[in-house]
Structure 1
Amino acid sequence: MSTGLHTRWNGRLIGLVAVLVMVNFVVDEAITAPLLVLPDMLDHFGTDQAAWLNATAMLAGVMWAPLLGKSADIYGKRRVLVVTLLLSCAGALVCAMAPSIWVFVPGRMLQGAALAAVFLSVAIVRAVCAPRIAMVIVGIVTSGSAVLNIASRFLIEKLAVEFGFQILFLIAAFVAVAMAICVRNVIPESPITTPGAIDVGGALLLGGGLGGMLGYISLGSDLGWLAVGPLALLGGGVAASARWFLVSSRKPDSLIDVRDLGGPLVLTLLVVFLAAGSYQSMLQLIPLIGDVSTAQHLGYGLADQGSVALLLAAPSLGVMLGGPVAGWLAARIGPASTLAGAVMLGTVVTMGMFLGVAQLPAALCFAFLLGVTVGALGTSGFLVAGGFASAERQGIVSSLVMVMVSIGAVVLNFVGAAVLESTAVVVDGEQVNSATGVFSCVAIASVAFAVATVLAIALVRRTRLDSSSLAA
């Protein structure tokens, strides 16, 4: 009997993949592309609070993810993805027209809903494709937009110079609404849904708790760790998270049933948290070492060894390769083994950055391989987590992967920034990062990757034991 799932490539499937790749391009336009015009935004609003302008969308995305993931399981993945894109469009328009930072920041929070498009795309692929081909397509969908990201960087920089930073948000709004129309017309709605209602109170508690604690980590370095605002975020976040945990452990229809997560899924989420955070901390370090010359005799630096533009593009090129290859491998050796291989590669490559911080050829090689790592990590992480969930829970389980990626990025980026700041030295009257700080950041990321490797190996063993038990 036919299941109605795609089992091989055809015209309809190619169209679906193309649309979902563009959907993930919307995520980049909403979350990371504004970094290109960050100095212009700071000047326009007359502020030095870069974190408010930059990190707000990511933090809001963490709050949006569980709510939209659960909604997708109940009301349909395509429908919620359309809503997600329209929310991102509305937020981008608010940002483009914002007369002050107090209007711009809420716009960024609304635009941060786009983060949910990543895991919703994965859930849609798993709903319409047979498992074997779905693994490959997840790799393409989660990493295929990297080539568009590279090309768009140059275009956005030129347009921003001519028309102002607002043009970025107008483009993001246009692409988001165009993709909402394409999703509505091209992608079928999944017939599998979960009866129930949205635990709005639980969603607000969980999202608010995560956002509050991450907001303290992200904004505290700019505003002061003991400032009223960050402390209020921390206190509110801890209280909301504690309240959510107590309520969810007793509620029959909670947003996330903490009693039903299971050991393998928890291991997967920990691996994603450590590995994704380590990668992000290295990505944060790359432009810093690329802006320093060896002539400054700081013990690191690449600026005088040739063009470093490729250094910034190399990770994106690696992502394009890592995602599809991980999907192909997952279909043959299993998602858990592929995930373990990805974090092992990340450990070796990150340790290689001890050499890469002072030699451009090595830095280019390791930056590319870091991109391969993160492409493989994203693909295999979603596939492993999705394998532990029934068809009715794909949305909420996939959202947990995205939440852990975001938390890891914020936490490890903060750790790296704090290390660099605490070890900075003064040279010719200017404060600069020291070699001690740079090498310490590489060491921290290497250790985190190594711990993730140990956990990933334990996950592989656990899944093999479970498979053996089921076979018996």
Structure 2
Amino acid sequence: MPAAPAEPAEVSTPPKVTAVVAVLAFGGIVVSLMQTLVIPLIPELPKLLHATAAGTAWVITATLLAAAVAVPVVGRLGDMYGKRRMLLVSLLLLITGSVIAALSDSLAPMIVGRVLQGMASAVIPLGISIMRDELPSERLGSATAQMSASLGVGGALGLPAAALIADRFDWHVLFWTSAALGVIVLALVLTFVPESAVRSGGQFDFIGAAGLSAGLICLLLAISKGSSWGWGSSRTLGLFGAAVVVVFLWGWWEKRATQPLVDLRTTARPQVLLTNLASAVFGFAMFSMSLVLPTLLQLPKATGYGLGQSMLTAGLVMGPSGLVMMATAPFSASVSKKRGPKVTLMIGAVIVAIGYALGIVAMSAVWHLIIVSAVIGAGIGFAYGAMPALIMSAVPVSETAAANSLNTLMRSIGTSVSSAVAGVILAQLTITMGPVTVPSKTGFQVILAIGSAAALIAFAIAAFIPTRRPTDTGKPTPVAANAA
């Protein structure tokens, strides 16, 4: 009797690429919203939380420090134990932090909530890494460009949305909204995003994680608090000194660890090192726009240069830049495919430099600043789309999440330095209007000029990135791997 025909082997259905890209990009936008979520509340936080202004400043600082610690650690855990798994953990932290903040009426629980929100910042580098593992090569370039641009998109769109909610509803609604968005992203990830089989395994480097976290906290705390503590104070100088010592010891340990948190040999490759340096400088340049334009828009017209607009209007002026970032992501991927991501990064830097230079001479009307923010947004969209391609073409697949997380961290350090520098300039270059002192027009122009110069420095650094033959995959070719 003939044997029954064998049952056909079950063939796994490939993930719906468009859905995966859309879900991960949406998740990146939601997480980046957390950076601008509380900006409309800053003047009112002391009254809302029954605390001092110095105390409520930690609502911002705590998020910054938590993100700096979480991004490299969660990225490495994603490489080891599963990127989707760590993405879900990050989203759960976001939801939990949002709920705690929404239930807060005092400072301590608010800071706890903001810390948990900051710990979700690894969603963007994890999303880029999942795309590298799961997407077909022809879609990878444009998808990673969109995911990387979501960092800027969320920040740009978050300000008008947060201002609108804060203006029309109780302030707690801001955090309930972020919790709801987090739940939506979590459900979408569970439904559409597969778990990658690419894992490095091994043991987690707890000493390396503790050392890097301590060094980053010392550095960023000194940068963010230096203006209020005094740049020459023993506290600030002590933190800077501690950061140098801790980072040196951390580097010594990482070079000797068998399974380091950050592979410094890979990080020292010219393509990775120069891309990270350019990212830090670019982060500095990008954040200048977020500091200058809203302030300029809201200053009273009596100054002669302020535009006397509301926070909501200021947010709406910034909104188009986020849309432009997302719109330019496909063009960024196209240029990277034809000419290489190095060229794309250089183009983005030039566009940003032009945008800031335009802002120096065109700041007397609302439409002027809309154009300025849109031009800068276009440059950011180009540059942010190129950075993950440069990183991923120079690192092993097993280190994708860690490498992208380090690149994201470098951008965050750049934005932190930008905030500190801009704060010093605006505090020094002022005019007096009756009983109050406000930043002068010259102060804004100096920051815009520094932003333009920083973009040109990023261009110069990018020019020295080793040229590689463009590929459709964004993954290292044998030639590229050997060259690295």
User: Common fold, TM-score beyond 0.5?
Assistant: yes
Q: Give me the whole-angstrom Cα distance separating, in 2, the residues matched to 1:191 and 1:402.
A: 23
| CA 1:122–1:91: 2 relative to 1, 3 Å | same
Q: Go from structure 1 to structure 2 and tell me whether the alpha carbon gap of 1:239 and 1:90 turns closer, same or farther (over 3 Å shift).
A: farther
- SS for the counterpart of 1:249 is helix
| Equivalent position of 1:48 in the other structure | 53
Shift, 1:168, TM fit: 1.7
CA drift of 1:81 comes to 0.4
Fraction of identical pairs, as percent:
25
- Which among 24, 31, 44 is matched to residue 27 of structure 1? 31
* Residue in structure 2 matched with residue 38 of structure 1 by the alignment: 42
Q: How does 1:120-135 map to 2 (within 5 A)?
A: 120-135=126-141
CA distance in structure 1 between the partners assigned to 2:167 and 2:353 by the alignment: 39
Instruction: Give 2:52's aligned amino acid.
Output: T
Q: Match for residue 60 of structure 1?
A: 66
Q: State the partner residue of 1:259.
A: 265
Structure 1 position 200, deviation (Å)? 1.7
> CA–CA distance in 2 between the matches of 1:190 and 1:135?
18
Once residues 333 and 174 of structure 1 are traced to their aligned partners in structure 2, the CA distance between those partners, rounded to angstroms, is 41
- Name the residue aligned to 1:175: 181
Q: Which piece of structure 1 moves more, 421-430 or 217-226? A: 217-226
Does structure 2 conserve the Cα–Cα contact (< 8 Å) formed by 1:356 and 1:363? yes
Which segments of 5 or more consecutive residues in structure 2 lack a partner in the other structure?
1-10, 471-475
- Equivalent residue in structure 2 for 1:118, among 112, 115, 124: 124
Indicate which of 372, 378, 384 corresponds to 1:378.
Answer: 384
Q: What's the RMSD between the two structures over aligned residues?
A: 3.0
* Cα distance between partner residues in 2 of 1:65 and 1:242: 20
Q: Deviations over 1:283-324 (max 9, x none)?
A: 210012212356534xx44448xx766432232222122223
Say which SS state the counterpart of residue 437 (structure 2) adopts. strand
CA contact (8 A) 2:157 2:322 kept: no
Whole-Å separation in 1 of the counterparts to 2:36 and 2:30: 10
Describe the shift of the 1:151–1:32 C-alpha distance in structure 2 as closer, same or farther (beyond 3 A).
closer
Q: Which of the residues 343, 364, 375 maps onto 1:369?
A: 375
User: Could you say which residue in structure 2 is the equivalent of 1:88?
Assistant: 94
What TM-score, normalized to structure 1?
A: 0.89
| 1:18 alignment partner, one of 11, 19, 22 | 22
**Relative to structure 2, which stretch is displaced further, 313-322 or 185-194?**
313-322
Determine the structure 2 residue equivalent to 1:412: 418
Q: What is the identity, as a one-letter code, of the residue corresponding to 1:75?
A: Y
1:333 alignment partner in structure 2: 339
Q: 1:250 to 1:308 in 2, by over 3 A?
A: closer
Question: Where in structure 1 are there 5+ consecutive unaligned residues?
Answer: none
Q: Is the 8 A contact 1:202 1:254 kept in 2?
A: yes
Q: 1: distance between equivalents of 2:249 and 2:154? A: 42
User: What's the TM-score once normalised by structure 2's chain length?
Assistant: 0.86
Report whether the alignment pairs 1:282 with 2:286: no
Contact preservation (8 Å) 2:28, 2:154:
no
Tell me which amino acid in the other structure corresponds to 2:349.
Answer: V
The reply on whether 1:387 has 2:393 as its aligned counterpart is yes
Q: Residue 275 of structure 2 aligns with which residue? A: 268
Take 2:82 and 2:218, find their aligned partners in 1: how far apart are those partners?
29
Aligned-partner Cα distance in 2 for 1:145–1:106: 23
Distance in 1 (CA, whole Å) between partners of 2:375 and 2:194 is 36
CA distance in 1, matches of 2:163, 2:143: 31
Cα-to-partner distance string for 1:115-172 (whole Å, 9 max, x where unaligned): 1001111111111113331111122333468777777656644544565322222222
CA distance in 2 between counterparts of 1:315 and 1:215 reads 29
Task: Quote how far apart the aligned CAs of 1:413 are.
Answer: 1.6
